[in-house]
Structure 1
Amino acid sequence: MNSIISWIGGKKALRELIYERLPKEYGRYIEVFGGGGWVLFGKSPDSRCLEVYNDFNSNLANLFFCVKERTAAFLVELGFLPLNSRDEFLVLRKFLSKEEFTRDYLKEELDLAQHYLKELEFEEVKAMLMENAEVTDVKRAAAFFKLIRYSYGSGCTSYSCQPFDVRRAFHLIWEASCRLANTVVENKDFEALIRQYDRDNAFFYCDPPYYQTEGHYEVEFCKEDHVRLRDTLAQIEGDFLVSYNDCEYIRELYEGYQIESVTRLNNLAQRYDGGCEYPEVLISNYDTSERRRDIPVQMGLFDKPNGFYNTE
């Protein structure tokens, strides 16, 4: 299945290549930089395997937690008649950046209401103000989901000017809730997460912010973090697969590990340069070809099966 959101650096175009390179056996599957969860949602769930989705972006982690645990409340909060206007988009941005309805604003409103209203009227207004001021996890998740859907390129920074009816996503959200039923949702720094879940049967898929493109991501990820990720993975008992942009620095950083060049369509450049591909690398500490060796190869018309000999 597909993810409920598109996201910067999403792996929809690469996930089939990733599936072919997964270890043949593992007891724990951990997505360290979950993002939109495209790899997780596309793979079949396995009740025998522990699954973990993690992202240090608290809005992302909260969104998937609410989709999993508060599905009905989340759908109700999305509403059935979305406005999808530039004004709503700006309000959502302010809400998520905590610029809207601050505690100072709430205190001022309560003071004015108490001064000018009778006691019974004040109690009614106070109840409404307190309810609106409560920033629940579900409200934040719904606001973040709308912001992604209404923004250009899912970047959450500019309004896309394209209509999107969130009702189209209701069925997919229910499917996502079922898919996440046995998945642990975490909101941790990658080093702490890897150390917590590392075992000899663990498999870590890492899709960090790409080197020198970190400015496109909301969560800061500096050069020292790339080194820290490499050093953390060097100490684990389990297996790892890391996807990165293909550049000299990353190849030098992971020298000694298996590095495979792959390409995908560059979605951002398709409008101006159709067919343009983006070079990436898949880095691992295990043999990524073992699963592909078990895939049956279709014989050609003139191929001879093993054991067949021409006796003429």
Structure 2
Amino acid sequence: MGGKKALRNTVYELSPASFERYIEVFGGGGWVLFGIPPDPKVMEVYNDFNSDLTNLYACVKNHTMEFLRQLGFLPLNGRDEFLVLRRFLEGQEFAGTFLAQELELAMHNLPPLEFEELRSLLLERAAPGDVQRAAAFYKVIRYSYGSGCTSFGCQPFDVRKTFHLIWQAADRLANTVIENKDFEALIRQYDRENAFLYCDPPYFMTEDYYEVEFPRQDHVRLRETLAGCQGKWMVSYNDCDYIRGLYEGCHITAVSRINNLAQRYDRGCEFPEVIITNYDPQERKKWGPQQMDLFSAGLLGGETEDGGD
């Protein structure tokens, strides 16, 4: 819900004509960030409050080889493994009947050396290391239905086929600051007159789709925080009366995108959204086609494949 793959070109077109720091406050899958080439003149910050997600990107960036090694371990790709990884991420103990079942499963599907490695891991009952946690989280995303991390997708998928995307993601994130902060603290830390803050918060009345809680008062807190910003900001939301009222007085642009969740049964179905800014969203067009900066270069140079949605 709210993924920006289908809307990011619109985000680029309505972005400010010039800025020196770019902050993604609710980074999510990184669709906007990964769709543009890096610019050495622009400071970039990726933030998300989901610690599993920021840990994933930090490990892809800083521990690429070890992350790939962990992904290649135990590629069973089935419901049993999905449940094991879910319990692993939730910090549950591998005890009793569950432990015996998992050891038996591993013994019949792994070579002896790999089985011993997994056996030691299960018996330690310790919190997973950063890279192990990142690999487990990535596999849960890839194996789950709609990347929702809650139910097994029932589709065979070998994560080793995505290794080239992980290398691309590591290269793209090389000079990007990765943060795991509450949105208000992050905005206050990085806001400057030369900043552009892009916010894609959980959509109003669809918060149950997200891992991190975002109650109604957080929508209000975001609006109040942005009201005090020195820099320029953009917020993308689902189009509804409450959000339009909350941001009354700002520039509100109605847009639509393909509804990714409905394509299997209603191809071509679109989802109404709004782009809200504290600046004229047409300023990039007014500057003319000669303006070449971070986002215009991304549009002309084509899309870069996303490393983790």
Common fold by TM > 0.5:
yes
* 1:268 maps to amino acid: L
Separation in 1, partners of 2:210, 2:151:
14
1:141 aligns to 2:130 (yes or no): no
- Indicate the residue corresponding to 1:100 in structure 2: 93
Deviations 1:188-219 (A, max 9, x none): 00000000001101110000000000011010
What do the CA deviations read for 1:13-71 (whole angstroms, capped 9, x no partner)? 00001111111111110000000000001012111111000000000010000000011
Per the alignment, residue 199 of structure 2 pairs with 206
CA RMSD of aligned residues (A): 2.0
User: By how many angstroms is 1:87 displaced?
Assistant: 0.2
**Within 5 A, what are the aligned runs for 1:224-263?**
224-263=217-256
TM-score (norm 1): 0.82
Of 147, 151, 172, the residue aligned with 2:165 is: 172
Q: Report if the CA contact (8 A) 1:45-1:179 is conserved.
A: yes
How far apart, CA to CA, are the structure 2 residues paired with 1:233 and 1:128? Answer: 45
Change (3 A) 1:295 1:12: farther
The equivalent residue for 1:162 is: 155
Task: Give the structure, 1 or 2, with the largest relative contact order (CA under 8 Å, sep 6 or more).
Answer: 2
Kindly report which structure 2 residues correspond to 1:3-18, keeping only aligned pairs within 5 A, or say none: 8-18=1-11
TM-score by length of 2: 0.83
Aligned pair in 2 of structure 1 residues 236, 13: CA closer, same or farther (>3 Å)?
same
Alignment-derived partner of residue 122 in structure 1: none
SS in 1 for 2:76: coil
Extract unaligned runs of 5+ from structure 1. Answer: 1-7, 107-125, 298-312
Q: 1:128 to 1:279 in 2, by over 3 A?
A: closer
Q: For 1:275 and 1:93, how far apart are their aligned partners in 2?
A: 33
Contact 2:49 2:180 in 1 (8 A): yes
Q: 1:253 to 1:36 in 2, by over 3 A?
A: same
Do residues 24 (structure 1) and 17 (structure 2) align? Answer: yes
Offset at 1:263? 0.3
Out of 212, 220, 226, the position equivalent to 1:219 is 212
Larger radius of gyration: 1
Q: Identify if the C-alpha distance between structure 1 residues 291 and 91 changes in structure 2 by more than 3 Å, giving closer, same or farther.
A: same
Identity of aligned residues (%): 68
Q: Which amino acid aligns with 2:33?
A: L
Gap runs ≥5 in structure 2: 100-118, 291-309
Q: Are the counterparts in 2 of residues 55 and 188 from structure 1 also a CA contact under 8 Å?
A: yes
Report if the CA contact (8 A) 1:32-1:190 is conserved.
yes
Q: Partner amino acid for 1:203?
A: F
